[in-house]
Structure 1
Amino acid sequence: MTRRRLLAALVVATAASLLLSGCVSWFQPPRPASTVSTPTKETVAADLQPFYSQVLRWRACDGGLQCATAKAPMNWQDPAQASIDLALIRHPATQKPLGSLLVNPGGPGASGVDFIKTSLSYAVDGRLQKNYDIVGFDPRGVGSSSAVDCGGPKVLDQFIYGIVPGTPGTPSWIAATEAENGSFGQSCLEHTGPLLQYIDTDSAARDLDLLRAVLGDKKLNYLGYSYGTLLGATYADLYPKKTGRLVLDGALDPATSDFDVTLTQAKGFESAFRAYLKDCLTRKGCPFHGSVDQGMTEVQRILQQLQQSPLPGDDGRELGANTMFSAIILPLYNRDNWSYLDKLFDDVRKGGTSVAFTLADSYNDRSSSGTYSSNETEAFTAINCLDYTSDDNIVDMTQQAAQLAAQAPVFGPVMSWGGTSCAKWPFPGTRDRVAIHADGSAPILVVGTTNDPATPYVWARNLAKELQNGHLVTRKGEGHTGYNKGNSCVDSAVDDFFVSGKVPASDPMC
């Protein structure tokens, strides 16, 4: 099985839904913008003053966009220890801006720079492009910022696609899995250095406040997708009086335990796959026959068979259950991509692996040449291992595996044994799974989609209730996240909030 255990399945980069949908960016001609950002005057500790008073100098890049680099302390508890780079990209507003709007696509580990560079009009609609300077950023550890490096393509291939022999859950398999995960962590430490200890979400949220200040904004305006909702909520908890207009779309619930995250998401993926099957069975050429339940049983059989006997691929890799799982869930992020599931099961039934590896490689940013176009897997793993404490108690994991199999019989077994992921990571996780209230913050919109497979709707409901000033906007439908997905009701609620500060009187139930 692959060692990318999904770490309670927080595999929720919105960018993943773009990879198959054919979405391309379209840029309006930007208004002339200053090439220098004047920072706000902030009262901060003396050792932070050089960071908060820095001047951003923008350069032209990528056809009408502007790029810059900010400096942040590597260790916020000891700012003088060292500094790191934070990469920024900006689409200037087409009229006098209301300020900067920082956008995070999720992950953790997804590049906000690439998100704005390649998919601006997927990230935000034209109304927000008109009214705000849209700013993408790579969080610490990610992409073009000071980044996690774990040793190159061969190391990543082994970590993501390698097969640990034996039966999952047996003591020998657990020991072997933890040893391989630990080896990967040591490789990350060797190639990344001290930064690996400081790429947690709390530190990234402190970076957000620094970026707000050096962009010249007194308060933060922020749109966070998926994992980006945790980053945004963390910011609001640390700096409630500096919240401007925050929208958290496809929410994580900070108070949900690691196991409940896994269980809820396993059931969410199964619900989304059942929706696919229901649609598929009405179409000519559907690879399934009979009922939805029969289709689920067939997929369960395929995954079990791949667990026992992986299929050899043309490039020497083997298609195991976990890689097949990645291939299945990627199209579930966006209903427009369901047709790829037809191709996937047609191919696997014939003993083929090409479609499965194409989908899994797309999910993992791996090219056909074997190189990786981003460090998302490395950053994803490193950030989650710092953010969440690891429980590899075999009794606990065995009980949890049984519960997953009972409540999510198709995908639950593949998502089990997550406690092995970070058990031997170089640095322990420290974040407590507690509710975030952000007492004293400005209003915060939380967007949830009723059949979101990656961040189930219940998490959005929970977060909206936990936040002292949270307001839920529900999108009824399929797919991951709700804004800018063709639902005018959601789009209007979000845009009105960002542009005029209008807070829905109640959930519009779009």
Structure 2
Amino acid sequence: MDIRHRARLRISLLACATAVGMLLSGCSGSVLPVGAERSGTPAAAPAADLEPYYGQRLSWRECGVPRFECATLKAPLDYAKPDGQSIKLAVARVKATGPGKRIGSLLVNPGGPGGSAVDYLQGYAGIGYPAPVRARYDIVAIDPRGVARSEPVECLDNKQMDAYTQTDQTPDDQTEIAKLRTQYERFAAGCQQRSAAVLPHVSTVEAARDMDILRSALGDEKLSYVGASYGTFLGATYAELFPNRVGRLVLDGAMNPSISARELNRDQTAGFETAFQSFATDCVQRSDCPLGTTSAADAAKNLKAFFTKIDTQPVATGETRKLTESLATTGVIAAMYDEAAWPQLRDALRQANNGNGAGLLALADSYYERDPDGSYANLMYANAAVNCLDAPPAFASPSDVSAAVDDFETASPVFGEGFAWASLNCAYWPAHATGAPHPIEAKGAAPILVVGTTRDPATPYKWAKALASQLSSGKLLTYDGDGHTAYGRGSDCIDTAVNTYLLEGTPPPPNKRCQ
């Protein structure tokens, strides 16, 4: 597995964690916070009580990785009380290599919410972004508040998280429903116990405001940015708050901020079904396909039967954890993000059919960012914390989920039931939602490039079309293909269009489509 593929499975491919109830959701407050611009007005100086933050300069130091530098940015914990407690945010950069005149800073975010942008920069973007872009931009990353190195949200110890990831998410009776609800309640209570101070202040609006402080600290008049998956919502939120500070924004694998958490999760369920059908169509043409060689429809039935079997008969993995239905489902979902993982998934399913679940367990562990020593990154904790602030819960009770299961199974006969029950977690969240779904227009912003992939599992293509149409300056670029996001994934057509926009400020022509 090459460095790009590892990075995508462990960082940028983690936009959706619905398999364990961490829903990807769109939001932001309907009222602009203090210090933000109103659409269409000139760029204003920050409010007086924010000047100490906007006036700071970063003290760069070596990071232990050649050519990479790190710094710490301060921001208000609570923007309503900027004179109160501050929060420390981790920042990293790799400076422009040349040749050519430096354009400025290019901020990158891999998605999540909860993915570490600093890890993404050091593991991929700082060395893997196209050379012409790295030549003329300082590539910069900030771990959003609550994520990784930026005062991370913590919820469970490693053993508790193991138990959480193994919980049955296709409950067969009231006893199993009660067990699932208990796990969600324990998860939420653990977050409150370990992260009470930061938990109400990790919304996307606050993270976007932190980005504007970073822009100022970097000495840039405007923000240039590449955001993937959830990073598109973060970037769009920035554009809504600070439209006249928008430089060149690329929103790849776009979210639709105007839909409810329930709509979002159902759409995503359908997206993973589309991706699975593409995988299955490819698989059944191979003589060794572990799901049969007749049709994609039969492959889906066989996978569903496999999940049903291990629901009562977990498969050995060579370690103390067995492959449960929930872990197997997560492993399959992980491989849907990138068609380069399909051979690995075929092998893992073949092994599991022969009584060895190690391959699917490894895929699930990659998804959860669980290391071989049993420790977890804070990805899933931050994911829930951000999403549960950004929008009201998809469901309020188990009975609400039960009533919606048929609708979700219509969207995906294979994954629908699990995705429906996974959407319950925010019902028990201790911090009330501060955001609400609404269209983002960002009137007055420079052209914003929105990139959509037609068979993207986690951010369905229709979301990219919706966001591009909502943004007053949105320009849609389409990749006709598989996998999650498009930039830097092998399409010369996509990469050329994005690079031209970043380097010259010229978006592609209307209705540009790549294969």
TM-score, normalized by length of structure 1?
Answer: 0.89
Residue correspondence of structure 1 range 318-397 to structure 2 within 5 A: 318-372=322-376, 374-390=377-393, 391-397=395-401
Are 1:53 and 2:55 an aligned pair? yes
**Secondary structure class of the residue paired with 1:84:** strand
Q: Which residue of 2 aligns with 1:425?
A: 429
- SS of the aligned residue for 1:423 comes to helix
* Contact 1:265/1:456 (8 A) holds in 2: yes
Matched to 2:132, the amino acid is R
State yes or no: 1:234 paired with 2:249.
Answer: no
- Counterparts of 1:178-197 in structure 2, within 5 Å, are 178-197=181-200
Pair 1:270 & 2:237 matched: no
| Distance apart, 1:326 and its partner CA | 1.1
Which residue in 1 is equivalent to 2:495? Answer: 491
CA contact (8 A) 2:168 2:176 kept: no
User: Structure 1 residues 184 and 352 mapped into 2: Cα distance closer, same or farther (>3 Å)?
Assistant: same
Partner SS for 1:289 = coil
- For the residue of structure 1 that corresponds to 2:155, the secondary structure is coil
Q: Is the 8 A contact 2:107 2:224 kept in 1?
A: yes
Change in 2 beyond 3 A, CA 1:323/1:365: same
SS of 2:49's partner is coil
Separation in 2, partners of 1:491, 1:459: 21
- Whether contact under 8 Å (2:18, 2:422) holds in the other structure is no
2:130 aligned with 1:115: no
- Asked if structure 1 preserves the Cα contact closer than 8 Å seen for 2:145 and 2:202, the reply is yes
Relative to 1, partners in 2 of residues 1:259 and 1:151: Cα closer, same or farther, differing over 3 Å?
Answer: closer
Residue 260 of structure 1 deviates from its aligned partner by 2.1
AA partner of residue 294 (structure 1)? D
Does the 8 Å CA contact 2:279/2:342 hold for their aligned counterparts? yes
Q: Which amino acid aligns with 1:341?
A: L
1:177 and 2:180 matched? yes
8 Å CA contact 1:256, 1:434 repeated in 2: yes
CA shift at 1:160, angstroms? 2.0
State the one-letter code of the partner of 2:189. Q
Q: Distance in 2 between matches of 1:137 and 1:9?
A: 20
Give the Cα–Cα distance (whole angstroms) in 1 for the partners of residues 378 and 22 of structure 2: 17
1:281 & 1:163 partners in 2: Cα distance?
29
Q: Aligned with 2:160: secondary structure?
A: helix
- The alpha carbon displacement at 1:406 in A equals 2.4
Q: Report the alpha carbon displacement of residue 9 of structure 1 after superposing the two structures with TM.
A: 5.4
Q: Structure 1 residue 316: deviation in Å? A: 3.2
CA contact (8 A) 1:4 1:421 kept: no
Q: Identify the residue that residue 464 of structure 2 maps to in structure 1.
A: 460
1:256-267 maps to which residues of 2 (within 5 A)? 256-267=259-270
Deviates more, 1:148-157 or 1:87-96: 148-157
One-letter amino acid of the counterpart of residue 45, structure 2: T
Secondary structure in structure 1 of the residue aligned to 2:89: strand
Q: Tell me the equivalent position of 2:305.
A: 301
The 2-side partners of 1:101 and 1:54 are apart by 19
> Residue 29 of structure 1 aligns with which residue?
none
Is this contact kept in 2: 1:448–1:474, CA < 8 A? yes
Q: Secondary structure at the match of 1:133?
A: strand
Determine the structure 2 residue equivalent to 1:75.
78
Q: Deviations over 1:250-276 (max 9, x none)?
A: 001111222222222222212212211
Q: Distance in 1 between matches of 2:265 and 2:18?
A: 16
Report the more deviating stretch, 117-126 or 66-75.
Answer: 117-126
Deviation at 1:381, TM superposition (A): 1.4
Encode CA deviations 1:195-246: one digit per residue, 9 max, x unaligned.
Answer: 1110111110110111111110111111000000000011111111111110
Change (3 A) 1:267 1:291: same
Q: Quick one: distance in 2 between partners of 1:393 and 1:410? A: 23
Q: How far does the alpha carbon of each residue in 1:64-109 deviate from its partner, in whole angstroms, 9 at most, with x for none?
A: 1111111111111111221111111111112331110000000000
Alignment of 1:12-27 (within 5 A): none
What is residue 206 of structure 1 aligned with on the other side?
209
**Any unmatched runs of 5+ in structure 2?**
1-16, 27-42
Amino acid at match of 1:218: E
Secondary structure of 1:416's aligned partner = helix
Look up the equivalent residue of 1:332 and give its one-letter code: M
Seen in structure 2, the aligned counterparts of structure 1 residues 105 and 422 have a Cα distance that, compared at 3 Å, is same
- The one of 160, 163, 167 equivalent to 1:155 is 160
Mapped partners of 2:77, 2:200: distance in 1: 9
Q: Distance in 2 between matches of 1:169 and 1:298?
A: 20
Task: Note if contact 1:212-1:220 (Cα within 8 Å) is conserved in structure 2.
Answer: yes
1:138 and 2:140 matched: no
Distance in structure 2 (CA, Å) of the matches to 1:394 and 1:154: 26
Give the partner amino acid of 1:52. Y
Cα distance change on mapping 1:505 and 1:3 into 2, 3 Å: closer
Q: Does 1:402 align with 2:406?
A: yes
Question: What CA distance in whole angstroms lies between the structure 2 residues aligned with 1:53 and 1:154?
Answer: 44
What is the alpha-carbon distance in structure 1 between the residues aligned to residue 153 and residue 23 of structure 2? 21
What's the CA shift string for 1:140-161, capped at 9, x where partnerless? 0111111112243123222222
CA distance in 2, matches of 1:395, 1:187: 24
Count residues with an aligned counterpart: 477
Find out whether 1:437 has 2:441 as its counterpart: yes
Contact 1:448 1:473 in 2 (8 A): yes
Question: For the residues of structure 2 that align with 1:307 and 1:59, how far apart are their CA atoms?
Answer: 50
Residue 192 of structure 1: CA displacement? 2.1
Q: CA deviation at 1:419?
A: 4.3
* SS at 1:79 equivalent: coil
| 1:293, distance to aligned residue in structure 2 (A) | 1.1
Give the match's secondary structure for 2:69.
strand
Q: Tell me, in whole angstroms, the C-alpha distance in 2 between the residues paired with 1:333 and 1:406.
A: 21
More off after superposition, 305-314 vs 103-112: 305-314
Change (3 A) 1:379 1:8: closer
Partner Cα distance (1:318, 1:232) in 2 = 40
1:254 equivalent in structure 2: 257
Taking the aligned partners of 2:167 and 2:177, their CA distance within structure 1 comes to 15
Are 1:98 and 2:113 matched, yes or no? no
Taking the aligned partners of 1:171 and 1:3, their CA distance within structure 2 comes to 21
Tell me the CA shift for residue 179 of structure 1.
Answer: 2.7
Contact 2:468 2:475 in 1 (8 A): yes
Q: Is the 8 A contact 2:24 2:113 kept in 1?
A: no
Change in Cα spacing, 1:169 to 1:247, as seen in structure 2 (3 Å) is farther
Is 1:218 paired with 2:200? no
Q: Secondary structure at 2:198's aligned position in 1?
A: helix
Measure how far apart 1:342 and its partner are: 1.1
- The answer to whether structure 1 residue 5 and structure 2 residue 20 are counterparts is yes
* Structure 2 CA distance for aligned equivalents of residues 325 and 67 of structure 1: 37
Equivalent of 2:45 in 27, 39, 43: 43
CA contact (8 A) 2:351 2:357 kept: yes
Aligned match of 2:131 in 126, 132, 157? 126
